[in-house]
Amino acid sequence: MFKALADEAERLELKQKAPLLLADVLLDQDIIKDGMAQIKNNRRVLLRFTLNDKKAQRYLLGGIEQLIIKHEAILLPKAAHIIKALYDNDICEEEAILAWGDKPSSKYVTKTQSKKIVQKCEAVLTWLREAEEEDDDEEESNDEVEVMLFFFYHLCSFRPTSTFQFDDRNQKTSVYAEKAKAQATAEDIKVQGDDGVEIDIDDI
């Protein structure tokens, strides 16, 4: 039944707006009873319209605003619990809820009423903001670790691919030096005495 309804709403290009009506049809002042049973029991239906669609989630939040104001005495004190239940059941995502809280609108109720609801939800909004900041910090930390591991891996795996080669000039110089050394050791080393006569050092 609801699948057919979702398909028809999509055909009429009304799928994003449908959650506004669903909030009025499926939920009432008893939404807060039995651990938010109405939200849990209608989770699959609501997800058909809101899954991965932040605009549809915003329409649903607008419907929730209307529901809360309609039964203000009962539901306004429990507004934060209702919003958290939508989050816990993956019906509304963190980004959609925070965007709703950051900018109260007069589209569904008066702006004063919207601000009043948001104020009642401040505790859960703060909790979501802090969770988002922690996720961002963790992602940055993970990025730094990945970079360090990348460089460490490549440093550890580095091996010289070739040996140092002397150029021809150095090689020739080395050859000449070796020849000179060999010639010096092969010849008898002779020195001149005081009278100018060469003396064989081996005869001393």
More confidently predicted of 74 and 1: 74
Q: At what angle do helices 79-88 and 94-102 cross, to 10 degrees?
A: 150
**Residues 184, 201 contacting (CB under 8 angstroms):** no
Burial 62-90 (b: 16+ CB within 10 A, else e): bbbbebbbebeeebbebbbbbbbbbbebe
Q: pTM score, two decimals?
A: 0.65
- pLDDT surpasses 90 at 106: yes
> What is the tens place of the pLDDT at every residue in 139-166?
555 556 566 666 556 566 555 554 444 4
The domain ranges of the chain are 1-131
Rounded Cα–Cα distance for residues 61 and 19 (Å): 8
Residues 6+ apart with CB under 8 A from 74: 29, 32
Whole-angstrom Cα distance, residue 42 to residue 38?
6
How far is residue 193's CA from residue 204's CA, in Å, rounded to a whole number? 11
Using DSSP, how many helices (H) and how many strands (E) does the chain show? Answer: 11, 2
What is the 3-state composition of the chain as percent helix, strand, coil, each rounded to the nearest 5? 70, 5, 25
* Predicted local distance difference test score (pLDDT) of residue 136: 62
Per mean pLDDT, which range of 8-17, 106-115, 194-203 is the poorest?
A: 194-203
Q: Which residues pair with 191 in a beta bridge?
A: 199
**CATH tag, 1-131:** 1.25.40.180
Structure token pair of residue 45 = 């239906």
Instruction: Tally Cβ neighbours within 10 Å of residue 187.
Output: 8
Q: Label residues 13-44 b or e (16+ Cβ within 10 Å = b).
A: eebbbbbbebbeebbeeebbeeebebbeebee
> How far is it, in rounded angstroms, from Cα 123 to Cα 185?
95
Q: How confident is the model at residue 137 (pLDDT cuts 50, 70, 90)?
A: low
Q: Write the DSSP assignment of 130-165 as a string of letters.
A: HHHHHHHHHHHHHHHHHHHHHHHHHHHT----S---
